Structure 1
Amino acid sequence: MPIQIEFRNVTKTYGSVSAVRDLSLSVCRGEFLTILGPSGSGKTTVLMLLAGFVAPTQGDIVITGKSVAAVPSYRRDQGIVFQNYALFPHLSVRRNLEFPLEMRGVKAADRTARVDRMLDRVHLKEFGERLPSQLSGGQQQRVALARALIADPPIFLLDEPLGALDRNLREQMQGEIKSLHKEFGSTTICVTHDQEEALTLSDRIVVMREGQIEQSDTPESLYDRPATRFVASFLGEANIFENPGFEVEADGAQSPGTVAMIRPERICIGAPGNSARADEDRRQSVPGVVADMIYAGPLRKYYVRVGSSMLVVREHVGSGQQIFKPNDDVRLDWLRSDVRFLANGR
């Protein structure tokens, strides 16, 4: 796909603080890109730079081949959704949706038809005359999404769009956002600190740290093959083998300056006397003692002391499983091919 958005060596400073440092990033047309990172990583500044709410200190931002670094936000053809929805409280749902069409000079008859279609699309056909205060949080979020998309912008920006919703509603809205992206095809940039949200929604994830890109890849590759210790620990849980008290076996040699890592769900837990697996020659097996077990609905999470390490094991709950308790002796094993080597990073 052709590149639609480019950040070219962009830096944004506030006094002596660099919120974004020498950022170079390209986004393809129609891509759903999520920028993920902890507070202070620069992810929101990147979105504000693209939206035109702040200007870069150095570098350039290019959209479809043209520099927009000096173009004000109201002249950029973009839709944006904020965490707090930012709906006009004194206007009905219908009038909220009509507003961006009015600003673009769309005729009244066309506005009415487009609003009707959009209300139907976001399942709010019966709520057009209500005020935002008369809607639930999920309904307000759908209005915000609809208002941002109704003018069919080529670029769609999401700033922590689901942060104000409870868990069940967030999961429901994730499906709605994916469906709307597929239907409208806008190039979408989403900023979030929610790892699950990023993995669920994205074609590609950019992990930021201290104003710079730590790693950029597809969700599956980023989770399964993180490049650095920071990415592995930030995106999901990770068992880092640092002075573990036993030799960690892996396919391939460990390079200097790296640490070994394995994800908790890649580790199997069983009783010490369990019979060998069919692929035992491809596995490493170590004895351990359960320190704690946490039941979390579909999962059990075990904390197991092995040597000088505390390993986390995540097991899907199923019928007939043996359940281990604190102080139980267990055997852990994993495929050597599931061990990853990570750069320790800065």
Structure 2
Amino acid sequence: MPSAKDEAKEESLVPAQIEFRGVTKIYGQVAAVRDLSLTVRRGEFMTILGPSGSGKTTVLMLLAGFVAPSNGDILISGKSVAAVPSYRRDQGVVFQSYALFPHMTVRRNLEFPLEMRGMKAVERAERVDRFLDRVHLADLGGRMPSQLSGGQQQRVALSRALIADPPVLLLDEPLGALDRNLREQMQDEIRSLHKEFGKTTICVTHDQEEALTLSDRVIVMRAGRIEQTGTPEGLYDRPATCFVANFLGEANIFEDPAFKIEADEAQPSGTLAMIRPERICLAAATAPERPDAAHRQSVTATVNKMIYAGPLRKYHVSFGKSAFIVRQHVGSGQEIFEHGDKVRLDWLRSDVRFVMA
């Protein structure tokens, strides 16, 4: 099996497709992006994640050429594009609002970017047919965008962005206008299209699940700066700060615990202990210990409330002044606890993480 060092070396050999070098964007007195340095590898699916006002959309607009940097440089395939207008950057862009031409049919929406590039009519028709078939819209080419569902419009928008074969694909909150079921379907579609076409893809979203599901790498932004970068699993399992831990799902962070936290690794200075809610096991206070109890820490706590959420039950429990959130997958024959019940919480000491405040 390759070591982490070998994997890092192999990863470094992948050529950079996009580079931000010390990029800052200032609006009036506000720095929307501050001294951003970032490399995106060729063929990578990278998602920029963050709350409103974090600067993630500004990064995408800078890359698309819709706004110019105040300082720094942006390179695509080794060439500076900071002064290159958007229409000369050869990028496919998909917006949350789809931005389809409302007066054109689906087929004409797909044909238009090919026509602008001077492709012959026969070749245009063949390529449009292929893409309509690929996104399961072969029978809907004659419809207007207003006659399509949200998911269908998003498929058209993705096809229009890809049909001219751009080297870079930019996605701006691409699934934000869809309901949950459609979002999950379109996540599958986007993953499939990325695997098939291999485009270097930059996606901006505030949806944590979307970022973790789609991406090779995720960048978490805060106040115009990068807070942490890593693989989806790496960021979720080992967040560096309280902000990242709380933004990527729920986290139990113990600022002043009512008991001593035990862990397999020493706690670095200036950090707080953290454990994910799904890593905590919950049982009746009188239940027998688990077989691996020697590797676990346990406390007896009181249930404050239980929230049923379909496949999960979420418990809010407390031990003295320490509060816990515990997520438990619903199973048949499972004991259900109510307000005031005494329960035992236990977790593997190896599941404790330490984050900067």
**Normalising to structure 1: TM-score of the pair?**
0.99
- Could you give the per-residue CA deviations for residues 218-261 of structure 1, whole angstroms, max 9, x where no partner exists? 00000000011100000100000111211111112212211000
Return the offset for 1:159: 0.1
The answer to whether the aligner puts 1:214 opposite 2:244 as a matched pair is: no
User: Equivalent of 1:42, from 47, 55, 72?
Assistant: 55
Q: Which residue of 2 aligns with 1:146?
A: 159
> Take 1:249 and 1:148, find their aligned partners in 2: how far apart are those partners?
51
Return the offset for 1:320: 1.7
Return the offset for 1:136: 0.6
The answer to whether the aligner puts 1:58 opposite 2:71 as a matched pair is: yes
Q: How does 1:163-202 map to 2 (within 5 A)?
A: 163-202=176-215
- Could you give the per-residue CA deviations for residues 71-92 of structure 1, whole angstroms, max 9, x where no partner exists? 0000001000000000000000
> Take 2:338 and 2:95, find their aligned partners in 1: how far apart are those partners?
45
User: Equivalent of 1:289, from 293, 302, 326?
Assistant: 302
User: Equivalent of 2:40, from 8, 27, 37?
Assistant: 27
> Take 1:306 and 1:102, find their aligned partners in 2: how far apart are those partners?
67
Q: Provide runs of 4+ in structure 1 moved above 6 Å.
A: none
> Take 1:89 and 1:6, find their aligned partners in 2: how far apart are those partners?
35
**Tell me, what secondary structure is at the counterpart of 1:125?**
coil
Return the offset for 1:43: 0.1
> Take 2:321 and 2:282, find their aligned partners in 1: how far apart are those partners?
18
Letter paired with 1:133:
S
- Could you give the per-residue CA deviations for residues 74-124 of structure 1, whole angstroms, max 9, x where no partner exists? 000100000000000000000000011011111110000000000000000
Q: Which residue of 2 aligns with 1:340?
A: 353
> Take 1:170 and 1:326, find their aligned partners in 2: how far apart are those partners?
35
> Take 2:57 and 2:307, find their aligned partners in 1: how far apart are those partners?
34
> Take 2:38 and 2:269, find their aligned partners in 1: how far apart are those partners?
29
Return the offset for 1:154: 0.6
**Tell me, what secondary structure is at the counterpart of 1:105?**
coil
> Take 1:336 and 1:61, find their aligned partners in 2: how far apart are those partners?
44
> Take 1:105 and 1:323, find their aligned partners in 2: how far apart are those partners?
66
User: Equivalent of 2:117, from 92, 99, 104?
Assistant: 104
RMSD: 0.6
**Normalising to structure 2: TM-score of the pair?**
0.96
User: Equivalent of 1:135, from 139, 148, 155?
Assistant: 148
> Take 1:145 and 1:26, find their aligned partners in 2: how far apart are those partners?
24
Letter paired with 2:332:
S
The answer to whether the aligner puts 1:273 opposite 2:286 as a matched pair is: yes
Structure 1: gaps spanning 5 or more residues: none
Return the offset for 1:152: 1.1
> Take 2:209 and 2:259, find their aligned partners in 1: how far apart are those partners?
32
Structure 2: gaps spanning 5 or more residues: 1-13
Letter paired with 2:156:
V
**Tell me, what secondary structure is at the counterpart of 1:89?**
coil
Letter paired with 1:100:
P
> Take 1:105 and 1:286, find their aligned partners in 2: how far apart are those partners?
70
Letter paired with 2:42:
R
Return the offset for 1:23: 0.2
Identity of aligned residues (%): 76
Return the offset for 1:10: 0.3
Letter paired with 1:43:
K
